[in-house]
Each structure stands twice: as C-alpha cells, then as structure tokens.
Amino acid sequence: MRAYADNDYPAHHKPDWKVIAGLWPYLAEFRGRVILALALLVLAKVATVATPVALKYIVDYLDQDRGAELLLWIPVLLVVAYGLLRFGATLFSELRDAVFARVAERAMRRVSLRVFRHLHNRELAFHLDRKTGGLARDIERGTNGISFLLRFTLFNIVPTLLEILMVAGILLVVFNVGYVVAILVSVVVYVLFSIRVTEWRTHFVREANARDNQSNSRAVDSLLNYETVKYFNNEAFEAELYDRDLQDWEQARLKNRLSLAVLNAGQALIIGVALIVIMAMAVREVASGAITLGDFTMINAYLLQLFIPLNALGFVYREIRQALVNVERLFGLLGDKPGIEDAPDAKPLAVTDGEVVFDHVHFAYRPDRPILNDVNFRIPAGHTVAVVGASGAGKSTLARLFFRFFDVDAGAIRIDGQDIRTVTQDSLRAAIGVVPQDTVLFNDTLYRNLAYGRPGATEAEVHQAARMAHLENFIHSLPEGYETRVGERGLKLSGGEKQRVAIARVILKNPPLLILDEATSSLDSLSEQAILGALRDVSRQRTTLVIAHRLSTIRDADTILVMDGGRIVESGHHNDLLVRRGHYARLWEQQHQSEVEAGPDDPGTTAR
C-alpha cells in the first residue's frame, strides 16, 4: 500500500473498507471483553425495543372503560417495568462502553507505538522528504480514526441494524405487513441517499484535510526556522504564505460545510416523509378500530426509536468514511517498507579490532547524479583517517554510508571483515559514535540531552563526560546548571556549545568506532584546541573517520584522504601531501591565506 504525501492524496480515491478487517488483531487481544461488550449491546437493544411494548399496555389499560373496577396497581407495575426497561437500556449501554474502553484505548496505544517505531526505522531519504507537521496530523487523525471505527462500527451500525430487524419483526407479528414495508423502504431510501451523497462529498473532506496538513506543515516549518525568518525580516512574507494556505483551507472547509448541509437536509426530508406516511396509516387504523390507542403509541415510539439512531447513523457513516481515509493513510505509512532493512540472516556486529574497509564503493542518491566512484581505502584498527575536499566532493556521504543511512550501489563497507549489510543495523549503530556538524538537541534539560548518549548512565558518568568535553565551566555558570532547558532544537545554546554536548554524548556512549563530521566547525580557535585535545584522547583507542573542512584540525591524522568529484585523488600524511604540491597543498594554501586575511578566528561560543 502506498503512503501518500501530505497533499497528494487523490481526490477520487475511495477508502478501502478492507481496512476494518485490519483492526481485528487489536480486537483479538481482548477477545473476552469484545464478546462481553457485544452481549451487553444485545441486552441494551432488547431493553430498548421492549420499552414501547410496556408503554402500549399502560395506555391500553388506562384507555379501557372499567369505571370503578380500574385497578391502580396494574398500571403502576407497568410504569415500573417501563422505567426499569429504560434504565436497563442505559445501564447496559454504559457497561458496554466501560468494558470496551480498554480495547479502544489499547488499540490506539498499540498503533501509535507501531507507527512511531516504524518511522524511526524508515530510511534517511524518507525523513529528508517528509513534512513533519502534515505527518503529525496524519498520525493523530489515524489513531483517533481507529478508536472511532472500533467504537462506532460495533456500537452504532451493528446495534442500529439489530434494532431495525427487531422492530420490523415485532411490527410484522403484531400488525400488518404494510408497516414493515413502509419502514424498510424508508430505511433503504435513507441509507442509499446517505451513501451516495457522502460519496459525493468525501473528496471535499479529503481536500480540507490536505489543506489542513499543508497549512500546519507551513506553520511548523516556519516556527522551527524562527531565526532564519528573523535574519531576513521575512515575518510578513511567512504570514502571507501561511494565510494563503489558510485561505485554501477555508475554501475547502466551506465546500465541506455546504455539502454537509445538503446531506442533513435530504436526510431530514426522508425521515419527515416516512413519519407522515406511517403515522397516517396508524391514524386511519385507530379511527377504524383495527388497532388500539396503545398500538398507535407503540408505533409512534418505535418510529422515534428507529429514526433518531438512523439519523445518527447518517452522521456515523460520514465519520466512518472519513475515519477510513485517515486510518488508510496511517496504515499506508506502516505498509511502506523501510528502504534499509536487516538481511533475513543478519547477525550482530562483532567488533574485535575495529578495522574499517571501504572496498571499491560506488554510490548515487539519484541514478543521473553519481556521488562516489570507486572509493577504496582502509582504516586500520585504532587509527584516524581524515577525509578532506571541496564541498560536494562526497565527504559526508562516506559517513552516511558508514552509518548505513544508505546502502552502497556497488562495492562494500566492512568492519573486521563483516559487510555491514549482513549485520543488524542496531548492533552496527551501537558500535559507532557520531559527532555531527549540525547538532540538534531535544527541548529538554542540559542533563537529559547529555545523558541521551547512554540513558542508563550514572550522574557521575554524565558529569565526567561534560568535563571531558570542556562543558562543565559553562554549565556551572548557568543559574540552573544541568537543569537548564535548551529550547526547541537547542536554540538557547550557541553552535559551539551544542557541538560540545554532541562530543559529551559520544564520550558517554563509548563506542569502538567514531565518525567526526566537522566536529569543531562552530568553535573558536581557543576552544577548538581544547576540544581537539579531548577528541584525541577519546579517539586514541578507537578507529576514527574524520570529515573535515578546516585542515588545521586534522594535521595529526594517521592518513588524510583528499576527495574530488567523488574519487580519492590523494592520500598520505599532512607533511607528505604538502610536499607533493597537489590538491591538498592547494587547499592548505587557500585556507591559510583566508585565515590571514580574516584575522583571528572567533565565531563565538558565548552562552545566549
């Protein structure tokens, strides 16, 4: 099943009613509760259908010309029975809801967790293309749709159909077939009208949802990029774009509302005509003496009992249609397999020495745009290999492939002789620590963000990692210390402070393999030297791949690889490469000249 993007769900697409069958596993978990709830449902409907019968006998008894012989205790007993039946219908319905509550809530929990895990298992390409706001709305509507389908399919459609059959049976036995035919015809006309009009207006509902996703995605994206908006004075521009999306949403909602009015008016007309016809038949028979006044009252009560839930059934059908669309989109997300999956026979990675080999690797994000061409190198156990080159040379792609965000198109990446495609992703990523160029933090405390490197770490271990990352002095300068909240995506910290948090996390994780992706790019020269010392201590016993732009940070690497156009064009030690006067020497001279012209390097790491 294809998972549609936020705004590309076809307007003509009809929801698949087979989706309801996909809910069975969530019912099967509490089979006993479901059976008990259905039993209570039947009892509630029996009590509901029996209520007008009690009312008939009350009216007939009081209507008899018995004079002084009228026994008051008989109608009193009938009234008590009438009251008990009405109470029983409500009691059984409430007990049914209470019994079933655990089933519906557990289903929402199970599906939400399943979707959450599935999205984390999706490949990086999926998350690069996603729109977070629209995706969040799809998940929210989908999980709510599951609860709605479970509750209303079982407890509105099924009981209403059961009640129609029971009432039709009673009217057929007690009265003539004309009442049954009139009721069944009106029900069929009502249902057909509701289905046809609901089918017609479903695309208005879907369009409103798509526009809602679009506007929500716009708002979330704009707020996440608050600083960028401010840098370019584009508040009015963002508001204009958001209002444009809201205008589309407004028009879609208006069409939705107008089509709903057409549906409601048509349903009311059908019910009104049916009531007129059936009550006219009853009045004629009362006048002729064919039926009693109590029979007339019972027929009227049955019509009210039938058409009130039938009117609700029209609403329920509309909502079930929408819930099916929402649940189908949610199941569509679950139906798409991750682009990167463990092999059926995948085993945990066994890191013995920590040797890493890129064996003639080829890779392209798109077939028409190759990124890596025959990349071949080896990182001996415990050694540090740095990769440098111009932007777009393919440096960061090496790190993504190493971490298996993507799979190579040809060749292989091996760790201690094990192709990383043959081991579990969990064990591979547990063995690799990454300090990214752009560190994004959770909107939580500094302590929790530090401890994220190893959630089970002790407080002493977290503090030790902060000291090794040269963060402790900064933390002690904050009024709330480790309990300082860092804000959305860590916006309350400078770039340098966020990178130190990333370094502390890796120190805490303590993996045998390291990827340093521009790990000091946001630090000033003084802080950079301090962090480089810490990183040297951390990487001394580890196999390390360094992606670097600033060549001064990798002078001590065991081997430096120079990339250009997706190929390794030079390799060697810093001094050897300078002597060759090739690509590396030109990069070194360009950076050195730029630093001389720019003056002291001080991007700033002062806390905000």
List, for residues 332-346, the tens digit of each pLDDT value. Answer: 767 667 778 888 899
Q: Which of 478, 494, 510 is the last residue of a domain?
A: 510
At 514 the three-state DSSP class reads strand
Contact 97, 136 (CB under 8 A): no
Residues 390 and 467 in one domain: no
51-108 confidence digits (pLDDT tens): 888 888 888 777 775 554 556 677 788 788 888 988 988 898 888 888 887 777 777 7
Note the pLDDT of residue 460. Answer: 92
Mean pLDDT along residues 128-144: 68
pTM of the model: 0.61
More confident residue, 523 or 593: 593
Q: CATH number, domain at 164?
A: 1.20.1560.10
DSSP string, 27-83: HHTTHHHHHHHHHHHHHHHHHHHHHHHHHHHHHHHHHS--GGG--THHHHHHHHHHH
Residues 498 and 592 in one domain: no
Contact 550, 398 (CB under 8 A): no
- Within a domain: residue 556? yes
Confidence of residue 14 (pLDDT cuts 50, 70, 90): low
At 172 the three-state DSSP class reads helix
Confidence of residue 385 (pLDDT cuts 50, 70, 90): very high
Domain count, the chain: 3
Residues 542 and 483 in one domain: no
Residues 455 and 590 in one domain: no
Residues 263 and 229 in one domain: yes
Mean pLDDT along residues 297-310: 79
Residues 415 and 463 in one domain: no
Residues 28 and 160 in one domain: yes
Q: CATH number, domain at 405?
A: 3.40.50.300
Note the pLDDT of residue 513. Answer: 92
Question: What dihedral angle (degrees, nearest 10) is formed by the CA atoms of 73, 77, 80, 81?
Answer: -170
160-219 confidence digits (pLDDT tens): 778 788 888 888 888 888 888 888 898 889 888 887 887 787 778 778 878 887 888 888
Question: What phi and psi values does residue 363 have, to the nearest 5 degrees?
Answer: -160, 145
* 327 has pLDDT over 60: yes
Contact 393, 566 (CB under 8 A): yes
* 130 has pLDDT over 80: no
Cα separation, 160 vs 308, whole angstroms: 10
Note the pLDDT of residue 37. Answer: 84
Q: Which of 306, 335, 364 is the last residue of a domain?
A: 335
Note the pLDDT of residue 232. Answer: 77
Residues 467 and 590 in one domain: no
Note the pLDDT of residue 19. Answer: 63
Domain coverage including residue 35: 17-335
Residues 486 and 596 in one domain: no
* 239 has pLDDT over 80: yes
Confidence of residue 606 (pLDDT cuts 50, 70, 90): very low
Name the DSSP letter for residue 156. Answer: I
Of 1-15, 284-298, 467-481, 570-584, which has the strongest mean pLDDT?
570-584
H or E element, residue 583:
helix 583-598
Q: Which of 270, 300, 335 is the last residue of a domain?
A: 335
* 449 has pLDDT over 60: yes
Note the pLDDT of residue 377. Answer: 93
- Within a domain: residue 349? no
More confident residue, 100 or 463: 463
- Within a domain: residue 12? no
Among 420, 368, 361, 438, residue whose Cα is nearest residue 394: 361
Residues 427 and 305 in one domain: no
Residues 124 and 238 in one domain: yes
* 596 has pLDDT over 70: no
- Return the percentage of the chain with pLDDT > 70, whole number: 83
Residue 347 bridge partners (DSSP): 423
Note the pLDDT of residue 375. Answer: 92
Tokens 């682009």 sit at which residue? 339
Residues 505 and 518 in one domain: no
- Within a domain: residue 341? no
SS (H, E, C) 247-311: HHHHHHHHHHHHHHHHHHHHHHHHHHHHHHHHHHHHHHHHHHCCCCHHHHHHHHHHHHHHHHHHH
Note the pLDDT of residue 597. Answer: 59
- On the CB side of 106, CA atoms within 13 Å amount to 15
DSSP string, 485-506: B--GGGTTS-HHHHHHHHHHHH
